[in-house]
Amino acid sequence: MAALSYRLLDGMALSLNVAVVGAGNIGGTLGRAFARAGHKVTFGVRDPAASGAAAVAADSGADVATVARALVGAEVVVLALPGNVVEPFLRQHAAALESLLIVDATNRIGGPGPAHSRDAVLAAVPTARYARAFNCIGWENFAEPQFGDRAADLFFSADEEDRPLVAALISAVGLRPAYVGADQHDVVDGVLRLWFALAVGQRRGRRLAFRVLDASDD
């Protein structure tokens, strides 16, 4: 595991150097939340001078750079790209991703194979550490994580050693981390399918999320 410069308090990261690849609805919303929570965020985009990317960075205190530049010094990389461009991204930047924690927020929709890119990530970067998060509910719920007086849960999968880091990023967005275990990316994607069935198939709308109830909620 690569050495990280973050400090831990009660298992939660106080400061992480995060590269968010993509500054659209998902990447922009997540990156702004990470920056507000005190993490050092750099958006990696094709054209840093584009007005949209610059505006996203300006209103959050984050930086914006080319993708290659954003990866320099990153401890965590959050992939917020269209699913069909993940493999070209990996081929181009494999060397810079070695040993990093890659949080896959992408979804491959409408084609054969799984929604996640776990196999593609590890084929291109065998030393990478893979986590699945921020993919199973609509981005609108990252912008507004509260439903009444309760935060929605965000289901995620990561190796046990990376669980506190991913949980810290989820908490930074205002969601409650719901860990389902290591190598449980397919379980997380099952929640994605449930979300689509309810939000889209049953036309309940994209402001829809989930919360696990147990004895602590009595």
108 C-beta neighbours (distance < 10 Å), count: 18
Cβ neighbours of residue 207 closer than 8 Å, sequence gap 6 or more: 138, 140, 141, 144
Task: Quote the tokens at residue 196.
Answer: 């689509």
Place of tokens 């997540």: 30
Distance from C-alpha of 197 to C-alpha of 207, rounded to nearest angstrom: 13
Contact 13, 165 (CB under 8 A): yes
pLDDT at 179: 98
Question: Could you tell me which CATH number the domain at 8-217 has?
Answer: 3.40.50.720
pLDDT in tens, 59-100: 788 999 999 999 999 999 999 999 999 999 999 999 999 999
Q: Say whether pTM exceeds 0.95.
A: no
Is the Cβ–Cβ distance between 152 and 175 less than 8 Å? yes
Q: How far apart are CA 177 and CA 10, in angstroms?
A: 15
Taking the domains of the chain in order of start, what are their residue ranges? 8-217
How far is it, in rounded angstroms, from Cα 30 to Cα 39? 11
Residues β-bridged to residue 151: 146
pLDDT in tens, 165-208: 999 999 999 999 999 999 999 999 999 999 999 999 999 999 99
Q: Give the ranges where 4-116 is alpha helix by DSSP (H).
A: 25-36, 51-58, 67-71, 86-93
Question: Within 10 Å of residue 211's Cβ, how many Cβ atoms?
Answer: 13
pLDDT confidence of residue 14: 65
Model confidence pLDDT, tens digit, residues 124-139: 999 999 999 999 999 9
Residue 59 confidence (pLDDT)? 77
Mean of the per-residue pLDDT values of the chain: 91
